[in-house]
Amino acid sequence: MKIVAFAAIAVTIAILATIFILPEGVNGPKVPIRSEFPEKIVYEYLNDDSVTLEDLQNDCRIRGGRFNECGSLCRDGEICIKVCALTCELKKESSY
């Protein structure tokens, strides 16, 4: 009886871990990320059909950000060349 209960608990934990602990790939294809900053994610541009623009927009929405097709490659406030990059602009946390 204890073995059956243990097996049921182990299966439940495995299912919950798959849903909540492994976020990449659960909500669609794994998206390629070039850089991660506290204020934004810069996606890697792939010149193939493995990841669509809609996949990147969905990933950004799940993160609670705003998708920008022409964002900056660099950190906010950093001086760098102006080129368009696919970014997810994350909400800045307020410091009260």
CA–CA separation, 25 and 49 (whole Å): 16
55 with 93, same domain: the answer is yes
24 with 41, same domain: the answer is no
16 with 37, same domain: the answer is no
Mean pLDDT in each 10-residue stretch from start to end of the chain (96 residues)?
66 50 54 92 86 93 95 88 93 58
CA–CA separation, 64 and 10 (whole Å): 32
**pLDDT at position 4, please?**
62
Domain tally, the chain: 2
48 with 88, same domain: the answer is yes
**pLDDT at position 77, please?**
83
User: Is 29:44 a contact under the CB 8 Å cutoff?
Assistant: no
57 with 19, same domain: the answer is no
Cβ neighbours, 10 Å, residue 43: 23
Cβ neighbours, 10 Å, residue 31: 23
35 with 23, same domain: the answer is no
Domain that holds residue 16: 1-28
20 with 41, same domain: the answer is no
Nearest-5° angle of CA 14, CA 22, CA 27?
115
58 with 94, same domain: the answer is yes
pTM beyond cutoff 0.95: no
23 with 40, same domain: the answer is no
CA–CA separation, 87 and 65 (whole Å): 9
